[in-house]
Amino acid sequence: MAFVRRALQLPTHSSVITPLLDIGLWPLRYRRARMALKYLAYLVDCPAVLVAAAFRVSCNLVHAGHPSWISDLHYALHRLPSRVPFDPTVPITAASVQTLLRALEAALATHVRGLIQQATKLAVWREAVLSLLPQPPAVSALFKQREYLRISCARTRKDVARLFSGVSPCAIEALRSRGIPRARRICRFCRARAIVEDEHHILFECPDPTLQETRTRFYTAVFAIEPGLLHLRRRCGDWHFFGTTMNNARTANAAATLVTTAFTRVRTTAPLILDSEEDLMALPNLPG
């Protein structure tokens, strides 16, 4: 799976599931299981005498309690993170193989939803992508090439991928590796005790003039392209609106530009390092 991270220039400690989702590529174990089930569908209806005989032998071995290709398939489906029920002793038909293929898709969707719901670092993907999909989302909606991957600028694509994978340059993530407690990962621009520097604060809240100007340019560009989104902006949250613009081929570039410009502003400003609770308490509670 390392190549998926390399494709989006993500660090090795980042989650692999978000790049897979955004590229539209199933995890390897599920892809292998799907290939095996499609081969099983071929075997069930295969007119070739020798192939049909080999399939019957494999089924007979399972019925007699011996290992075979069919029992290996049962083991592989049973060992998936979200298992697929398969009784190899029941006669296999074309219809039962199609049922297994549908069960495999459902198992993958369940597995992915669980991963995204549990991972704190994947909150942006959860809020800006998953929450916008029809619930419960189908595998085809989860694993789908996202609009931002069509953006020509590699650096912009990389920044959006980092946002969705929970490895942004914001203090909430960048200071984690230094062992600094979450409460002390304070916004480098606000320098106020109550303001943790996370992705939402940097993209949508921080009063830093450069970030505010970036935000204004984003909204101006989006409303010029899609005036109808003004109504949506008034009635939905920041991540929902951002996710909508990122999922729209006409506005994805403006949304991605917001991300890369804001992250550049963060990268070019030194973080606020607080070595102790006393340093934290010395800050004002809110920006001056």
- Which residues are CB-contacts of 156 (< 8 A; sequence separation ≥ 6)? 148, 256, 257, 259, 260
To Zn ion, the closest distance from the beta carbon of 200 in angstroms equals 11
Distance CA 206, CA 194 (A): 12
Residue 15's SS3 state is coil
Considering the complex, state which of residue 142 and residue 272 has its C-beta at the smaller distance from Zn ion: 272
The minimum distance between CB 207 and Zn ion, in angstroms, equals: 6
Binding residues for Zn ion, rule: CB under 5 A, are 187, 189-190, 206
Question: Minimum CB separation from Zn ion for residue 223, in Å?
Answer: 24
The residue among 263, 70, 100 whose CA lies nearest residue 169 is 263
- For residues 67 and 284, which CB has a smaller minimum distance to Zn ion in the complex? 284
Provide the residue type at 42 as one letter. Y
The residue (of 211 and 252) whose beta carbon lies closer to Zn ion is: 211
How far apart (Å, rounded) are the C-alpha atoms in residues 203 and 168? 11
- DSSP per position, 82-122: S-----TTSPP-HHHHHHHHHHHHHHHHHHHHHHHHH-GGG
Q: Which is nearer to Zn ion, 163 or 187 (CB)?
A: 187
Query: Nearest approach, Cβ of 206 to Zn ion (angstroms)?
Result: 3
- Shorter beta-carbon distance to Zn ion: residue 21 or 206: 206
Residue (161 or 187) nearer to Zn ion, CB: 187
Token output for 169? 């340059």
Q: Shortest gap between Cβ of 8 and Zn ion (angstroms)?
A: 27
Q: Which residues pair with 186 in a beta bridge?
A: 196
Tokens found for residue 31: 């892809």
Q: How far is the CB of 282 from Zn ion (least distance, A)?
A: 18
The answer to whether 157 and 256 are in contact (CB under 8 A) is yes
Structure token digits, residue 123:
């909150």
